[in-house]
Amino acid sequence: MDISNFIIMKHELLLTIATLLLLIAEIAINDKKKIIPIAITLFGLHTIYGFIGNSSGELFGGMYKNSALIVLMKNILNIGVFIVILQARNWLLKEENKDNISEFFILLFATLVGMNFMISSGDFLMFYLGLELATIPMAALVAYNTHDAKSSESALKLIMSAAFSSAIMLFGISLMYGQFGSLYFIDLIATNMNSPLTILAFIMFISGLAFKISLVPFHFWTADVYEGAPTNVTAYLSVISKGAAVFILSILLFTVFKSLVTVWSDILYVLAVLTMTIGNLFALRQTNIKRFLAFSSVAQAGFILLGLLGTNELGMATVIYFVLIYIFTNLAAFGVVSAVENATSKVEIDDYNGLYQTNPNMSLLMMMALFSLAGIPPLAGFFGKFFLFTAAAQNGYFWLIIIAVINVTISLYYYLMVVKAMFINKNETPIARIENDIYTKISFIICLVGIFVLGFYSSIFEYINSVSIGL
């Protein structure tokens, strides 16, 4: 094989190189705080280079593949991870974390490498290896706060739940291999999958992947893990991990399982209704801001399924577009939560009473993020949901759209509860003014630009739609 062909794997190779450089830095640098700007610089360069000089092709006999659409997905994840590590700086500088700074970045990069392999997989073996490579370091990240019992408990819940779901998924994959004698996507596309055994295998596979996306009823781990994990790790779980799972699910449904569209469209219909409704109803009951955002994240996953029910290139494009918007929107909210928690250790919604009095800028950012999540025009979240509804309407899912609109209304109510706490509720001792560092401010600006610009800059959606054609 021509060594130049590995340029096709540049995202994975660059991340691996960055990880090795961080290992060297860990050995060579005594002051661990200096590792943070090194890691941010390395990943920033990686993110920028991800948009330059990309090429399509296959490696390892078709097990690994790359295309303009896959590159786009990886670049979207890179943007999200870059925002996460910018927001994580203050947290990493805390006394209890200062000796483990490099471990955070190494584990983070390792999970992203796994997600990239998962997205670029050309067969189920590569997909499963990428999935596990992403999951195991993620559990370590959740347990990063070794001094906090909740963090360790959350990691245990995650790894046990992930192991169970992965086992179910692997059994489904083994059934497909037993029936067709191949794990390659291109071979499976050409087969007739309308058999009871194949349908069973598909249901087991989709059940395992539904766990990763936190679809109801596979969401039971979500709130506990989100609450116990460090807030910046929670943000990563909520956005990057979910985004990668949604991307590969979209690819598989529109290619490998295209012949089973009558089966999986009914399944996704039920999952969408359950996920939107139950996620919203549980969000109404939350008093902890991280659990609140956890169930909000569950509900948003339900809306994503509307795009998948489009069952065509437009559906694919709307899903990718929504995930892109979701990254900026959700990370803006988690960024504020992280800043408040790092400064005060407060994570209850009541703690945000009167926040606007002392921190008007963060309050306004949080409000914009929540309104975007709710789908309020003219913010980007409105356009994201509008296109999802459009994709579902093309296939006649009008009752589902009505249910989705009702759920949007419910979500607006509980988002307004947080806005009310910040701007209206009185508090004699509100959270003191928080001085954010330059890295956090940059992340806030990036998120704010994304929230306001993505909806109006139509070229972005047009490009996403163009690379989705011929999937």
Q: Domain extents for the chain? A: 3-468
Question: What does the pLDDT average to over 111-120?
Answer: 92
Cα separation, 429 vs 352, whole angstroms: 11
**What pLDDT band is residue 146 in, cutting at 50, 70 and 90?**
confident
Question: What does the pLDDT average to over 434-441?
Answer: 88
Which amino acid makes up residue 72? L
**Contact yes or no for 191/257 (Cβ under 8 A):** no
Cα separation, 193 vs 198, whole angstroms: 6
| Cβ neighbours for 44, distance < 8 A, ≥ 6 positions apart | 82
Q: How many other CB atoms sit within 10 Å of the CB of residue 370?
A: 27
246 has pLDDT over 80: yes
Tokens, residue 75:
């670049």
Predicted confidence (pLDDT) per residue in 203-228, tens digit: 888 888 888 888 888 888 888 888 88
Cα separation, 92 vs 99, whole angstroms: 9
Higher pLDDT: 344 or 467? It is 344
**What pLDDT band is residue 470 in, cutting at 50, 70 and 90?**
low
Partners of 66 in the β-ladder: 57
Rounded to the nearest integer, the mean pLDDT of the chain is 87
Residue 433's φ and ψ, nearest 5 degrees, are: -60, 130
Cα separation, 234 vs 335, whole angstroms: 11
| Cβ neighbours for 28, distance < 8 A, ≥ 6 positions apart | none
